[in-house]
Amino acid sequence: MLGVIGGSGFYSFFGSDARSVTVDTPYGAPAAPITVGAVGAHEVAFLPRHGVDHEYSPHTVPYRANMWALRVLGVRRIFAPCAVGSLTPALGPGAMVVPDQLVDRTRGRADTYFDSGGIHVAFADPYCPSLRAAATNLPGVVDGGTMVVVQGPRFSTRAESRWFANQGFTLVNMTGYPEAVLARELEMCYAAIALVTDLDAGIDSGTAVRTVDVFAEFQRNLVPFKKLVHEAIDQTTVERTCTHCLAHDGVRLPFELP
């Protein structure tokens, strides 16, 4: 089964023929019931990370419950659409980017399942190369970029966004971590697909980022963005062949993965 985790403004993926599944986890309930439907030859589970009515801010999303619930259902590969700000004028609103690197600037988030045992997880390349290839082979998709994940819920100051840009980061987001590392700990393939909604404050000196503008831009691009996710799923092999994301080969874990 494939998984899709919808970001801000991306709260549904199927029609009325999808079935809804409620999953409990050791980390509480996920952000919303999971809907399961078909995309071509694939069975797909969809979960809106912020809840169906955007009840969860980025720092309060139940990330561990979300990822655990998808794993319990049989999901082993995840596409993660998300809204991002751009840290370079070369990527304006409406650009669709598949990042290849991540920088964590969050704090205090529960970002591991291994609160006991001396477990270390390889994370040098945080995104699944197979899933990335399925998305980046599509027309108009920008291949690569570094996404810095900030704590939120506030947007960056101009000085912060200029600092991020000077470091060579290209995208800024609030939810890409710890989702990616939790997927790796559960040995699930994971790739982010980012929709640029704005130039960050330090890049566009004349304006400041506002929530209403971000959501409006996302809605303007929602139909082609969903189409891109569908096409990426269609490009994905039925059988999982990736070994890059099997992080625990040869390691004895303190508990069995679901």
Annotated binding-site positions for phosphate? 8, 49-50, 175
- Give the active site residue among 53, 100, 200, 204: 200
100 noted as active-site residue = no
Burial 200-214 (b: 16+ CB within 10 A, else e): bbbbbeeeebeeeeb
Choosing from 24, 111, 115, 198, the catalytic residue is 198
Could you tell me which residues are beta bridge partners of residue 54?
A: none
Instruction: Identify whether the C-beta of residue 161 lies closer than 8 Å to the C-beta of residue 203.
Output: yes
Q: Is 125 one of the catalytic residues?
A: no
List residues forming the annotated binding site for substrate: 174, 198-200
- Identify which of 47, 50, 43 has the alpha carbon closest to the alpha carbon of residue 74: 43
Is residue 95 within 8 Å of residue 193, measured between CB atoms? no
Question: Which sequence positions are flagged as catalytic?
Answer: 198, 200
